[in-house]
Structure 1
């Protein structure tokens, strides 16, 4: 694949700069515009599909991107493919797997303790992986160090590059869907991606899977409460339903009461920002607010954010 570059940005004419910024929506983040052999745009930005599918996305056209999404489902491999081979082995063995994240060491201690206690009581083959957060790198590293130091019996991605890649891929999934205008409320994969990104912004999250199948994609506080109420959870659903159904049903009950708000943040440097988004919880259109955020945090752009927030409890017809 041939690559061309200019010796210095000043050599690019103002008309070309204007075209790239206005037509290709380039601001501060790198983009990869794919042109066909006669110079027509085949994909306005192929970076997202490269992060998600790698070389399988070749020749990186919008048509290829649509085709790849048609073959995808909401499954654990979509989240961790190319990052951790150990998780792929657990999937093949049909184990229960908790992916979880956050930056509160106390919550993580309690969550791991309760999960292990329930797994032992129900004789459930359970593996756990700490995946951190999309930002706050220093806090995430401290939590990883705590997990190792206190021997909390949970797998942790100690390499920051693995955590970075996980969140980069997840955010790329969101922007890929937006770019293809696949943002309707009937798109299950899109709704689940929005939930996970929203829970991460709220502080913490959990994903419970049995093998490849994702059972619960949930909020950290509700997930911990579900495990802490193990006796009630198991009594309601008995041994006939098993851990998977018991956890899912009890989590659903607690979640329907808590009903947390959803929140998304789009940096203006991303270029293409959706005109509207639906809340993955209540499926209503979300309000759009402007937020100014300090740039001292890890992985935060030195730019202001557009934040979409709606508390479902305040919605009226």
Structure 2
């Protein structure tokens, strides 16, 4: 699926769409296989519609440019605070082995580290198959249930470090650096990092 087709799919507000990618091909393959199994289970017993899109290397640059513009355009909009939080989380996992964004139509529902979301899918699948936990998608929504599972996994294992890079503003006085390979002036970026030390979601695997 191309990014153009992805945009068309996102306009369908009745569908959930998992957008995912990362540097680890093994994780990508396992995530897609698990997602297919979960989608099969859900569509058999509910009217929830799920599709997915893997951001491969050929469209990665185009995709992230769009996400960064999305973040920039919505960052100062107080009405979209929850959505901004999800976009920032997504950007903080951009260079990880895996990352996931769940949308319902054009709305960002949640985003997370690939390994964490894979564990969510695996536990969701296990509970659904064994019926050890009653999952009712008629009285609740898929996104609410999924977010509950996501919170549960983070509380159990902790959250991965977040690393966010943004372009430095023109007003900041930053000393120029020349590239040691081509002598061009290097672009300046501001990097933020948080590994959640001293909080309940610090990693404790």
Query: TM-score under structure 1 normalisation?
Result: 0.47
Aligned counterpart in structure 1 of residue 164 of structure 2, from 264, 275, 278? 264
**Which residue of structure 2 aligns with residue 57 of structure 1?**
none
**Which residue of structure 2 aligns with residue 206 of structure 1?**
100
Give the Cα–Cα distance (whole angstroms) in 2 for the partners of residues 194 and 238 of structure 1: 30
Contact 2:163-2:193 at 8 Å conserved across structures: yes
Matched position secondary structure for 1:129: strand
Aligned counterpart in structure 2 of residue 96 of structure 1, from 11, 16, 21? 16
**Which residue of structure 2 aligns with residue 170 of structure 1?**
67
**CA distance 1:99–1:295, change in 2 (3 Å):** farther
Give the Cα–Cα distance (whole angstroms) in 1 for the partners of residues 105 and 74 of structure 2: 25
Give runs of aligned pairs for residues 232-243 of structure 1, distance below 5 A: 232=127, 235-240=132-137, 241=140, 243=142
Aligned counterpart in structure 2 of residue 244 of structure 1, from 143, 166, 183? 143
Q: Which has the higher contact order (CA 8 A, sep 6+)?
A: 2
**Which residue of structure 1 aligns with residue 152 of structure 2?**
253
1:117 aligns with 2:37: yes
Matched position secondary structure for 2:101: strand
**Which residue of structure 1 aligns with residue 202 of structure 2?**
none
For each residue in 1:107-137, what CA deviation from the matched residue of structure 2 results, as whole angstroms up to 9, or x when unmatched? 01100100001111221532111124xxxxx
Contact 2:20-2:100 at 8 Å conserved across structures: yes
**CA distance 1:174–1:95, change in 2 (3 Å):** closer
**Which residue of structure 1 aligns with residue 28 of structure 2?**
108
**Which residue of structure 2 aligns with residue 309 of structure 1?**
193
Q: Once the 2 structures are TM-superposed, how far is the Cα of residue 98 of structure 1 from its aligned partner?
A: 0.8
Matched position secondary structure for 2:150: helix
**CA distance 1:295–1:262, change in 2 (3 Å):** farther
Give the Cα–Cα distance (whole angstroms) in 1 for the partners of residues 171 and 85 of structure 2: 19
Q: Once the 2 structures are TM-superposed, how far is the Cα of residue 254 of structure 1 from its aligned partner?
A: 0.9
Contact 1:201-1:264 at 8 Å conserved across structures: no
**CA distance 1:295–1:165, change in 2 (3 Å):** farther
Contact 2:20-2:98 at 8 Å conserved across structures: yes
Contact 1:207-1:214 at 8 Å conserved across structures: yes
Give the Cα–Cα distance (whole angstroms) in 1 for the partners of residues 188 and 12 of structure 2: 43
Rg comparison, structure with higher value:
1
Q: Once the 2 structures are TM-superposed, how far is the Cα of residue 199 of structure 1 from its aligned partner?
A: 1.5
Aligned counterpart in structure 1 of residue 91 of structure 2, from 183, 197, 219? 197
**Which residue of structure 2 aligns with residue 18 of structure 1?**
none
Q: Once the 2 structures are TM-superposed, how far is the Cα of residue 175 of structure 1 from its aligned partner?
A: 4.3
Give the Cα–Cα distance (whole angstroms) in 2 for the partners of residues 175 and 89 of structure 1: 23
Q: Once the 2 structures are TM-superposed, how far is the Cα of residue 90 of structure 1 from its aligned partner?
A: 5.7
Give runs of aligned pairs for residues 1-317 of structure 1, distance below 5 A: 83-89=3-9, 91-92=11-12, 94-123=14-43, 124-132=48-56, 140=57, 160=58, 162-175=59-72, 182=76, 187-229=81-123, 230-232=125-127, 235-240=132-137, 241=140, 243-257=142-156, 258-267=158-167, 271=170, 302-303=186-187, 305-314=189-198
Contact 2:27-2:97 at 8 Å conserved across structures: no
